[in-house]
Chains A and B, each alone.
Chain A
């Protein structure tokens, strides 16, 4: 990643305009061309530096629900259980973490009641207990990471 890539990663975390030629608008602000911005953005996505670029949807504001849940997965079954959990489209993120509760995933569903349905289905398919930890209060969300 060179300085232009870093500037793109930093700039595009902040937001993106809604206008006819938004890439051109952002490129002009940054002093690069529209083609440069698009090519580099494609490369950053292809290389996995960016996991996604686009509208970030808020499940709860859509009338749906969001929760954080954890599993205690026996080491020898970890990959298999990850496969089962990841196969659910409602699983938006999933991380391995260094704890007895070693798999932590975020469920985002369009209907609130789907959270319980998906949890029950994950428990059935894995034979493990899901520790469901929906937020009680949200104090802050929003740091941007500097490239």
Chain B
């Protein structure tokens, strides 16, 4: 799928964020010389076809008190990874869950699940629940806590 030129302009105008004014879609429309109706219709269409996941706030985990943001990684049999991944993803505290490629011998892990705890105990408890669910299918696992946000801007397309 290719983006339409006007949709692309709307993305560029809003990638840093939605205008913080009473009529934000009107403000975008003025910048692009469109009508507010067209901007709203196009944003609504992009939301329907998934180009926009949602219009929402992205919090800084640390500032909300979530200091233990762990990327838990697991080495499980490729034959079972889909079934296991779906079960891990159902856990209420898991924010992302993916199968990714291994880089042997440096990186044997193929299942990734993100957890977020306000305390180390919270995070460790979540990891223990995942470990219990995966059971004997786990050959190796570890957790990589984020120690610093180096960048968090979200997607940007070139001007």
Contact = CB atoms under 8 A, between A and B. Distances in A.
Contact of A58 (B16, B23, B50, B151): B50
A52 B149 CA distance: 14
A99 B143 CA distance: 9
A135 interface: yes
Given A131-B103, A137-B81, A62 B51 contact: yes
Contact of B155 (A59, A143, A146): A59
A103 to B, nearest CB: 7
Contacts of A3: none
Nearest to A138: B98
Interface string A1-44: 00000001100111110111111100000000010001001101
A47 B57 CA distance: 14
Contact of A23 (B16, B22, B112): B22
Given A19-B40, A50-B59, A89-B156, A55 B146 contact: no
Contacts, number: 241
Interface string B64-76: 1010000100000
B46 interface: yes
A108 B46 CA distance: 17
A132 to B, nearest CB: 8
Size bin of chain B's contact surface: 35 or more
Do most interface residues of chain A lie in helix, strand or loop, or is the interface mixed? mixed
A53 B50 CA distance: 18
A1 B86 CA distance: 36
Which of A41, A68, A137, A139 has the largest number of chain B CB atoms within 10 A? A139
Contacts of B81: 137
A94 B150 contact: yes
A24 B22 contact: yes
A91 interface: yes
28 contacts: A9-B57, A16-B54, A41-B57, A42-B20, A51-B60, A52-B152, A53-B57, A54-B14, A55-B47, A56-B154, A57-B154, A58-B51, A62-B11, A68-B112, A93-B149, A94-B151, A95-B149, A98-B144, A98-B147, A100-B106, A104-B146, A105-B150, A131-B107, A140-B96, A142-B95, A143-B94, A145-B59, A145-B64
Closest 7 A/B residue pairs (Cβ): A140-B89, A143-B95, A12-B57, A139-B89, A54-B18, A54-B17, A16-B55
Interface of A: 8-9, 12-16, 18-24, 34, 38, 41-42, 44-45, 47-59, 61-63, 68, 70, 82, 85-86, 89-101, 103-105, 108, 110, 131, 133-143, 145-147
